[in-house]
Structure 1
Amino acid sequence: MPKQAKSKSTRKLKTYQTSLGFYDQAIAAPSMKAALQAWGASSNLFHQGVAKETDDPDIVAATMAKPGIVLRRPVGSHGPFTESAELPTDLADDGAKSTRKLKKRPAKTARKTSLEIDDQAARKAAAAFEKEERRREAERRKEEAARARERARRAKAVAAAEAALDKAGREHEAKTEEIEAERAALDERAEAEQARWDKQRTKLEQALRRARE
């Protein structure tokens, strides 16, 4: 009974496969939702027919060895799934290959039997998957914190630039007012000088006319 209770608490992992872009992708995850999240899919690839659960022994073995990690191989190939896969050698038909429907092959009893994982291995794989999930979540939090710091830095820089612009604008207005005041004073002095000169010239011209008579 205790062993049965422990088994119930274990998150059983399954192997899921899809094709995205230039790669076939596979992952050992506890659910389709977890697989979609790991793939970064924005839509339900399973409903669209481009993702499925697989019982291929080679694929299952590869994903169960690295649960929670997305493994890849060139799209349309039959080679092993690895963490770093090279691009397909023939990209001419990539558009058609990347959107092809994944056909389910009939399961074979003998193969299924060979793929059964005992409770200890299942618990180990599930723990590894959860560890990888925590690592990805920590990475997402780290990236979000970096983006938040970058937004704060930009906001601070914008605020400083706006403050400098406002200060320079106020200084410009003050200097403009000062110049306008000086200009008004000069205009007033010029008008006074013109009036003085007009008056003096009139007197001098009158004196000149009397001297000529």
Structure 2
Amino acid sequence: MPREPKIKAKRKLKTYQTSLGFYDQAVAAPSMKAALEAWGASSNLFHQGVAKETDDPDIVAATMASPGVVLRRPVGSNGPFTESAELPTDLADEGKAKPKRKPKPSKRAEKTAKKPSRKIDDRQARQAAAAFEREERRREAERRKEEATRAKERAQREKAVAIAQATLDKAKREHEARAEEIEAERTAIDERAEAEQSRWDKQRRKLEEALRRARE
């Protein structure tokens, strides 16, 4: 009996959260590695203790609505995560550090803490996973496009370098050939000069001897 083809199951998404710079960041991803890639992190933030998986219902709902998209909010705030977040309003003025005060939990935060986690049903999970994969494909397409652009620019630079090098080599060969011709001409002139000097020395000695005899 022929076996039925296996259908590749979509990866279940989880919500991960971290703080980078002035922002808290969250993303729905199938793994910690995928979350780190989405954040553009160069080190393992989870091992460093600055990233974690979260089950906060509001954060989970926001990230599952845009799987694979990094959402942000001002660091230390309790506001909603969005794709475009403003800078924190309590940054120190004129470079003076202000003492850190533990923020007083808002009523909304207290209610959120008391609220039971909202479970994502299977259909939403499948939709979120599919959306995440689409986002991954979009990012991969962008990476390939950027790599192709860089490769084209690199090829153009290499071609320009090759042309410049060939031009330099040709000019150098022409210079060396001319220098050899000049050196050959200089050698011939030196030989002629030596021959002329030798001829003159002989003639001068004869003429001086004739002059000396005429004076006697």
Q: Say yes or no: TM over 0.5.
A: yes
Match of 2:116 among 111, 114, 118: 111
Could you tell me which residue of structure 1 aligns to residue 208 of structure 2? 205
Give the TM-score, by structure 1 length. Answer: 0.80
**SS at the partner of 1:126?**
helix
1:182 aligns with 2:185: yes
Relative to total residues, which structure has the larger helix share, 1 or 2?
1
CA distance in 2, matches of 1:179, 1:133: 68
How far the C-alpha of 1:109 sits from its partner, in A, is 8.5
CA distance in 2, matches of 1:110, 1:90: 28
**SS at the partner of 1:15?**
strand
Aligned 8 A contact 1:29 1:35 in 2: yes
Could you tell me which residue of structure 2 aligns to residue 52 of structure 1? 52
Number of equivalent positions: 194
Q: Superposition pairs for residues 23-172 of structure 1, below 5 Å? A: 23-92=23-92, 110-112=115-117, 115-172=118-175
- Show CA shifts across 1:47-70 (max 9, x none): 222111222222222212211100
CA distance in 2, matches of 1:121, 1:133: 18
How far the C-alpha of 1:89 sits from its partner, in A, is 3.2
Structure 2 vs 1, CA of residues 198 and 130 (structure 1 numbering), >3 Å: closer, same or farther? same
Q: Which moved more, 1:82-91 or 1:17-26?
A: 82-91
CA distance in 2, matches of 1:110, 1:203: 129
- Show CA shifts across 1:16-56 (max 9, x none): 11011221100111222211121122232222221112222
How far the C-alpha of 1:142 sits from its partner, in A, is 1.3
CA distance in 1, matches of 2:150, 2:24: 31
CA distance in 2, matches of 1:117, 1:162: 63
**SS at the partner of 1:116?**
coil
Relative CO higher for 1 or 2, CA cutoff 8 Å, sep ≥ 6?
1
Q: Which moved more, 1:201-210 or 1:28-37?
A: 201-210
Structure 2 vs 1, CA of residues 169 and 152 (structure 1 numbering), >3 Å: closer, same or farther? same
Could you tell me which residue of structure 2 aligns to residue 101 of structure 1? none
**SS at the partner of 2:116?**
helix
CA distance in 2, matches of 1:176, 1:9: 75
Q: Which moved more, 1:21-30 or 1:55-64?
A: 55-64
**SS at the partner of 1:27?**
strand
CA distance in 1, matches of 2:212, 2:113: 135
Unaligned runs of 5+ in 2: 1-7, 101-111
- Show CA shifts across 1:163-189 (max 9, x none): 223222222221121111100000011
Unaligned runs of 5+ in 1: 1-7, 97-106
How far the C-alpha of 1:195 sits from its partner, in A, is 1.4
How many percent of aligned residue pairs carry the same amino acid?
A: 81
CA distance in 2, matches of 1:176, 1:86: 69
